[in-house]
């Protein structure tokens, strides 16, 4: 594999020579979004306003003044089997990153999610006396095993986005702070669904289904074809006007999703499918119901107060490993936070186009159930709504000052 300069494991001389910086690593679009809110807050924190930020990140971080030494796409892999294919490139980047950070130590290291990558880096840095902060706890509450022991060896301070997590770390003797979820501060408590529909030029009176098949190439390959089959079936089955909105997470996914949409349009010439460049928030705000791949986006849908059906497919071996490790009966964040199945989850073999279409359309015929769900999601939103960026910046300042 030939790597471009940004992907190369070697960095230009003196690229990290200034030690007055915070090293940050985010590995996927959701981490890029979360980190960007922190970087914006850092610029307003008097103790940190001159602190440079460098490492691995995406366009939202760069827009906040971050220097991306590698693009985050190298790390954007999900699943055990899928990661094997990308492993040589990931290990080369991690080895080079650790070497550079050891040579030119930062004030602190902030790992944003991506635990399989970040915890390994953090363990080396912590042993060398470099303070390590991890933003977004790994799902220790959802998986078996003693993962918390490894976290204790790697992380000086854990930043938790869910209220129940900090107690787990307190019991393990790991400093932790509940900082809320950044999305809860950016999404309005009451969405303007009609206004969002007007922005999309939706026909008045039409039901809108937002379809989010994922943000990675591997997800689009596994989930995309089935989700577009569901779109076709919902168009066939729904007796009233219906339109579909599909946000395309990154430019690299555009051609694959456009091809899937065209196949459905050829079979159903009258179907209306709005393909959006990014704009997942607009798609969710406009939606009456959402069909969505399991992941961070399910929490975003909940904060927009939308009924949804959660689905996911991975290769059989990955599914087998994950099933053996998991002990919670649900995978979707709305259900995990609620502690019960408040929205359906159809995974792996259960995620047939027929079953997904039926479960998604069912929400459109249950206004009382939708109203109850919106109340649950509003309460969830209120719990998660804190000045997250400022709280994270405060912890970073405290950790640096303590050093």
Say if CB 304 and CB 384 are below 8 A apart: no
What residues contact 322, with CB distance under 8 A and at least 6 apart? 80, 314
> What phi and psi values does residue 6 have, to the nearest 5 degrees?
-70, -30
> How far is C-alpha 5 from the chain's CA centre?
27
Any idea where the domains of the chain sit in the sequence?
A: 21-180+386-402, 193-384
Tell me, yes or no, if the two domains 21-180+386-402 and 193-384 fold the same way.
Answer: yes
C-alpha closest to that of 78 among 257, 252, 318: 318
| Tens-place pLDDT, residues 294-317 | 988 999 999 999 999 999 876 666
Distance from first CA to last CA of the chain, Å, rounded? 40
pLDDT value, residue 314 = 64
CATH topology of domain 21-180+386-402: Rossmann fold (3.40.50)
Axis-axis angle for helices 353-362, 217-237 (nearest 10)? 60
- The rounded distance, in Å, linking the Cα atoms of 343 and 157 is 33
Q: Read off the pTM.
A: 0.76
| Tens-place pLDDT, residues 268-296 | 999 999 999 989 999 999 999 999 999 88
pLDDT value, residue 140 = 76
- The rounded distance, in Å, linking the Cα atoms of 243 and 200 is 10
> What phi and psi values does residue 114 have, to the nearest 5 degrees?
40, 55
Confidence band for 6, pLDDT divided at 50, 70 and 90: very low
- The rounded distance, in Å, linking the Cα atoms of 7 and 81 is 22
C-alpha closest to that of 179 among 24, 375, 34: 34
CATH topology of domain 193-384: Rossmann fold (3.40.50)
- In 155-253, alpha helices (H): 165-172, 182-186, 193-199, 217-237
| Tens-place pLDDT, residues 35-81 | 998 999 998 888 887 899 999 998 999 999 999 988 777 665 554 44
- Concatenating the DSSP letter of every residue in 325-356 gives HB-SS--SHHHHHHTS-SS-EEEGGG--HHHH
């Amino acid at each position: 594999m030939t790597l471009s300069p940004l992907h190369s494991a070697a960095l230009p001389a003196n690229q990290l020579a200034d030690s007055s910086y915070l090293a940050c690593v985010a590995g996927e679009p959701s981490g890029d979004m979360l980190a960007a809110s922190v970087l914006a807050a850092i610029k307003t924190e008097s103790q940190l306003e001159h602190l440079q930020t460098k490492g691995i990140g995406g366009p939202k971080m760069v827009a906040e003044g971050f220097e991306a030494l590698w693009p985050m796409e190298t790390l954007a892999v999900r699943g055990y089997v899928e990661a094997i294919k990308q492993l040589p490139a990931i290990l080369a980047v991690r080895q080079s990153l650790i070497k550079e950070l050891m040579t030119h130590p930062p004030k602190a290291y902030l790992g944003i999610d991506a635990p399989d990558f970040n915890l390994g880096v953090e363990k080396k840095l912590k042993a060398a006396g470099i303070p390590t902060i991890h933003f977004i706890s790994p799902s220790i509450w959802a998986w078996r095993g003693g993962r918390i022991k490894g976290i204790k060896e790697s992380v000086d301070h854990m930043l938790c986005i869910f209220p129940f997590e900090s107690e787990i770390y307190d019991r393990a003797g790991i400093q932790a702070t509940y900082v809320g979820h950044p999305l809860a501060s950016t999404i309005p408590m009451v969405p303007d669904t009609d206004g969002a529909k007007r922005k999309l030029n939706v026909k008045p009176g039409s039901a809108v289904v937002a379809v989010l098949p994922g943000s990675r190439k591997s997800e689009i390959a596994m989930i995309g074809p089935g989700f577009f089959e569901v779109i076709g079936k919902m168009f066939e089955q729904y007796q009233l006007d219906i339109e579909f909105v599909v946000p395309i997470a990154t430019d690299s996914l555009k051609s694959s999703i456009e091809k899937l949409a065209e196949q459905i349009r050829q079979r159903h010439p009258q179907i209306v499918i709005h393909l959006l460049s990014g704009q997942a928030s607009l798609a969710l705000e406009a939606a009456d119901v959402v069909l969505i791949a399991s992941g961070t986006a399910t929490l975003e849908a909940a904060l927009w107060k939308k009924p949804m059906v959660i689905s996911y497919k991975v290769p059989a071996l990955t599914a087998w490993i994950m099933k053996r490790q998991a002990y919670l009966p649900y995978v979707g964040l709305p259900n995990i936070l609620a502690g019960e199945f408040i929205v359906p989850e159809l995974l792996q073999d259960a995620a047939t186009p027929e079953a997904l279409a039926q479960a998604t359309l069912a929400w459109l015929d249950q206004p009382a159930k939708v109203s109850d769900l919106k109340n649950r999601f509003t309460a969830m939103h209120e719990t998660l709504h804190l000045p997250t960026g400022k709280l994270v910046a405060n912890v970073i300042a405290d950790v640096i000052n303590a050093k």
